[in-house]
């Protein structure tokens, strides 16, 4: 059902909610465009571990109540297949224009949230243990 290309290196199914039995998906075209640019800069596949989440799945994984994943505006990217460090990936993400960047132990969160009026820099947080 969601098995078709939406960008050169991304299939819609990669953005589906991972809640068992659900195949719901919602994804921002801006998110896809920016992930495609990131993939081009990295020169390696970008593995999405979590993108769109339904409300139930978001609660199960302990996501924020106002998570950008709920709106299809966020993706968590695995770092296991990357040669770039998390800092290098974050720097590329800032240059590309991601507006939310979260550091985690095994992945980086990237989103395209709307920034508060007047703010130009992305919102950045670090949840590494």
The predicted model gives 26-54 an average pLDDT of 97
- Distance, CA of 22 to CA of 100 (rounded, Å): 26
CB atoms within 10 A of CB 18: 14
**Residue 99 maps to which CATH number?**
3.30.1380.10
How many separate domains does the chain show? 1
Condensed to tens digits (0 to 9), the pLDDT of residues 10-33 reads 999 999 999 888 779 999 999 999
Q: Encoding tokens for residue 69?
A: 């994943």
- Closest C-alpha among 12, 23, 8 to residue 75: 12
- Give me the DSSP letters along the chain: ---SEEETTEEGGGGS--STT-------HHHHHHHHHHHHHHTS---EEE----HHHHHHTT--TT-GGGGT-EEEEE-TT-SS-HHHHHHHHHHHT-SEEEE-SSEEEEE-PPPPTT--SPEEEE---
Condensed to tens digits (0 to 9), the pLDDT of residues 63-87 reads 999 999 999 999 999 999 999 999 9
- Give the domain extent around 103: 5-126
pTM of the model: 0.95
């Amino acid at each position: 059902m969601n098995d078709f290309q939406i960008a050169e290196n991304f299939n819609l199914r990669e953005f589906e909610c991972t809640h068992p039995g659900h195949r719901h998906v919602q994804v921002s075209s801006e998110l896809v465009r920016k992930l495609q640019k990131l993939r081009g800069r990295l020169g390696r596949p970008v593995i999405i571990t979590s993108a769109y989440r339904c409300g139930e799945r978001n609660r199960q994984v302990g996501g924020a109540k106002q998570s950008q994943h709920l709106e299809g505006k966020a993706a968590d990217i695995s770092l296991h297949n990357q040669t770039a460090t998390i800092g290098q990936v974050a720097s590329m993400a800032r240059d590309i224009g991601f507006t939310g960047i979260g550091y985690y132990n095994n992945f980086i969160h990237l989103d395209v949230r709307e920034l508060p009026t007047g703010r130009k820099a992305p919102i950045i947080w670090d949840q590494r243990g």
